[in-house]
């Protein structure tokens, strides 16, 4: 977990920058670049202490060493000139691995105030790299300030939701794992952590949630705490090559590379790539896909290629189509989607849902509005795709979560009664049965299953759980009776019976009020078939 001193230092760096760099994403980039800059000099120093040689700051680049940059006596203006020049020169340094050159590509200093830079670099200088687990957690906390990139409909997925999705999909050490809109690589790191945990002789128990602290801090956990000692060297090499992601933003690619590197990936497989308009990687398939793709299409629109099964220019439709079509025959996926994917009536949405129900969909998990607070109150669901389940089972499971372990207000304080563990366990049992051709029954107070034929029979193929809710009389402790049975009671229209009508007030006849049949029918439609 993140220690308070490291958190304080990160917050201090942001406080120093905010006057000159108000944008949170730019703050993260400036801190990231500075940390990696210092990290390289620290590694050079460690190599020398162990009898080796410097790798990063050699020859003409030796004058850019961090230790010289922040040495006593260096004026603020000299510091600014050297640091600005170093940022532009690092990409040309052949002594840097490609990963580090990519991190420094397009890096620059967006302000020219020597005192701000001096204060900032001095605070960065207080970070130490002798504990990689803490460093990984620190970077996760740093990324948490990104929050919402609202123009693209991107919202940082809370760590506990990411881990919940990964645990349901249960990726294995031999499987390929992909995120086609990877952002800061949160899903990929969680999948890596899950595999390490499953292949450790003695894995610590899951961290308990305390009564204080926000969702981000509560969920921070480095995968390096799991040794993965059951993994062979061959397993580790294959795993490193099998985890990969794409993002259209070079800034997000840079952050992903750093995040994965700090979590133990020497050569992360992250590329700048437009999943929706480029065909270059169309043939690449994955056993596991985990993603929270952008919900909104960019202002300039999308010009997708024509290989998608569903023709659309809506980014959320295209991303879900892409992930469904790029699963291997035994492939599985967990995808965060907006409500439009669940019930939007436009033809592209309907066509997508029909494709999913027929060939890919295993389960729909409704999340409460507020999961993405304080960045957005958007209502979302999780689609669980499983090609083996879709082929073997005639049913789809639906779950509705109302408590994810955190209050749904802006502060997202930890609360008791999380339903995530229950849903994970019950869905896991159902998926196992469904893969074997079962899945027609689901014993849960949070979910139920629906035949695929019923989903497809509805012209809109809606995936809203309320649409398929039915009242089960067998679960009641009281007998079910017909409202038309006048031997039990009499149905009459009108208001409250008069006080001088003894048969109503003498205790001989129960009284029930009903609204008109048209009102009842409307109520039934709204409750039983989802009013949107």
- DSSP assignment of 345-392 equals -SHHHHHHHHHHHHHTEEEEEEPPTTTTTTT----EEEEEEEHHHHHH
pLDDT at 520: 37
pLDDT in tens, the chain (532 residues): 456 787 888 899 999 999 999 988 888 889 989 988 988 888 888 788 878 888 889 999 999 999 999 999 999 999 999 999 999 999 999 888 888 888 888 888 999 999 999 999 999 998 876 544 556 666 667 776 665 444 444 556 888 899 999 999 999 999 999 999 998 898 999 999 899 999 998 765 544 444 444 443 444 444 556 788 999 999 999 999 999 999 988 878 887 888 888 777 888 999 999 999 999 999 999 999 999 998 776 666 678 888 999 999 899 999 999 999 999 999 999 999 999 899 999 999 999 999 999 999 999 999 998 887 766 678 899 999 999 999 999 999 999 999 998 888 777 788 899 999 999 999 999 999 999 999 888 888 999 999 999 999 988 999 987 777 664 444 444 555 555 566 655 656 556 666 666 665 555 555 554 444 333 333 333 333 333 3
Q: What is the DSSP letter of 101?
A: H
Rounded to 5 degrees, φ, ψ at 281 are: -110, 20
Q: Which residues of 223-244 are buried (b: 16+ CB within 10 A; e: fewer)?
A: bbbbebeebeeeeeebbbebbb
3-state helix, strand, coil in the chain (%, to 5): 45, 10, 45
How far apart CA 121 and CA 459 sit, in angstroms, is 61
Structural tokens at position 1: 């977990």
Nearest to 455 by CA among 524, 315, 359: 359
Q: Which residues of 257-289 are buried (b: 16+ CB within 10 A; e: fewer)?
A: bbbbbbbbbeebbbbbbebbeeeeeeeeebbbb
Polymer length in residues for the chain: 532
Domain ranges of the chain: 4-145, 151-199+227-467
Cα 69 off chain centre by: 38
Question: CA–CA distance from 420 to each of 27, 165, 368, 474 (Å)?
Answer: 33, 10, 12, 27
CATH number of 151-199+227-467: 3.40.50.150
Structural tokens at position 181: 């809109």
How far apart CA 455 and CA 467 sit, in angstroms, is 10
Superfamily, domain 4-145 = N6 adenine-specific DNA methyltransferase, N-terminal domain (1.20.1260.30)
Nearest to 188 by CA among 209, 165, 213: 165
How far apart CA 402 and CA 407 sit, in angstroms, is 10
Rounded to 5 degrees, φ, ψ at 382 are: -115, 125
Alpha-helical regions (H) of 18-151: 24-49, 66-69, 76-89, 98-104, 114-124, 132-144
Strand, coil or helix: 493:
coil
How far apart CA 120 and CA 251 sit, in angstroms, is 21
Q: Is 56 exposed, middle or buried (0-12, 13-18, 19+ CB in 10 A)?
A: buried
Residues 6+ apart with CB under 8 A from 532: 343, 464
How far apart CA 507 and CA 382 sit, in angstroms, is 52
Q: Give strand pairing partners of 397.
A: 363, 449
pLDDT at 153: 43
pLDDT at 2: 57
Nearest to 404 by CA among 373, 443, 444, 363: 373
Q: What is the DSSP letter of 95?
A: T
């Amino acid at each position: 977990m993140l220690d308070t001193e490291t958190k304080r230092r990160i917050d201090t760096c942001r406080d120093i920058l905010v006057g000159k760099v108000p944008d949170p994403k730019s703050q993260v980039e400036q801190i990231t670049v500075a940390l990696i800059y210092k990290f390289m000099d620290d590694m050079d120093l460690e190599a020398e202490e162990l009898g080796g040689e410097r790798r990063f700051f050699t020859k003409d680049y030796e004058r850019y060493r961090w230790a010289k940059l922040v040495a006593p006596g260096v004026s603020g203006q000299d510091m600014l000139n050297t640091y600005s020049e170093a940022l532009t020169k690092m990409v040309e340094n052949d002594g840097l691995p490609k990963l580090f050159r990519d991190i420094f590509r397009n890096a620059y200093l967006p302000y020219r105030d020597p005192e701000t830079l001096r204060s900032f670099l001095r605070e960065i200088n207080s970070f130490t790299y002798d504990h990689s687990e803490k460093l990984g957690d620190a970077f996760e906390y740093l990324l948490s300030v990104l929050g919402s990139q609202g123009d693209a409909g991107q919202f940082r997925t809370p760590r506990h939701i990411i881990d919940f999705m990964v645990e349901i999909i249960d990726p294995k050490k031999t499987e390929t794992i992909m995120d086609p809109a990877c952002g800061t690589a949160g899903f990929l790191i969680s999948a890596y952590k899950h595999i390490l945990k499953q292949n450790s002789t003695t894995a610590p128990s899951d961290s308990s949630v305390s009564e204080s602290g926000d969702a981000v801090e509560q969920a921070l956990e480095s995968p390096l705490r799991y040794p993965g000692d059951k993994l062979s060297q061959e397993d580790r090499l294959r795993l490193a090559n099998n985890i990969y992601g794409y993002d259209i933003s070079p800034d997000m690619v840079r952050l992903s590379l750093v995040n994965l590197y700090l979590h133990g990936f020497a050569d992360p497989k992250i590329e700048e790539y437009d999943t929706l308009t480029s065909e270059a990687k169309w043939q690449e398939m994955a056993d596991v896909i985990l993603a929270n793709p952008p919900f909104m299409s960019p202002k300039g629109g999308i010009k997708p290629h024509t290989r998608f099964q569903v023709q659309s220019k809506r980014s959320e439709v295209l991303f879900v189509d892409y992930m469904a079509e790029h699963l291997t025959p035994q492939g599985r996926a967990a995808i965060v989607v907006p409500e439009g994917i669940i019930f939007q009536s436009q033809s592209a949405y309907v066509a997508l849902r029909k494709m999913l129900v027929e060939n890919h969909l295993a389960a729909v998990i409704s999340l409460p509005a507020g999961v993405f607070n304080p960045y957005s109150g958007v209502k979302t669901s999780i689609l669980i795709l499983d090609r083996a389940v879709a082929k073997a089972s005639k049913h789809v499971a639906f779950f509705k979560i109302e408590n994810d372990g955190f209050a749904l207000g802006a502060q997202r304080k930890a609360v008791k009664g999380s339903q995530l563990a229950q849903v994970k366990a019950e869905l896991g049992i159902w998926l196992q049965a469904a893969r074997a051709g079962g899945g027609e029954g689901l014993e849960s107070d949070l979910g139920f299953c629906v035949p695929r034929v019923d989903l497809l029979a509805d012209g809109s193929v809606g995936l809203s759980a309320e649409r398929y809710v039915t009242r089960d009389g067998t679960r009641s402790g009281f007998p079910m009776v017909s409202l038309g049975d006048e031997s039990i009671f009499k149905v009459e229209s009108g208001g409250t019976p008069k006080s001088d009508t003894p048969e109503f007030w003498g205790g001989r006849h129960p009284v029930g009020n009903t609204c008109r049949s048209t009102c009842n029918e409307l109520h039934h439609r709204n409750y039983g078939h989802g009013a949107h």
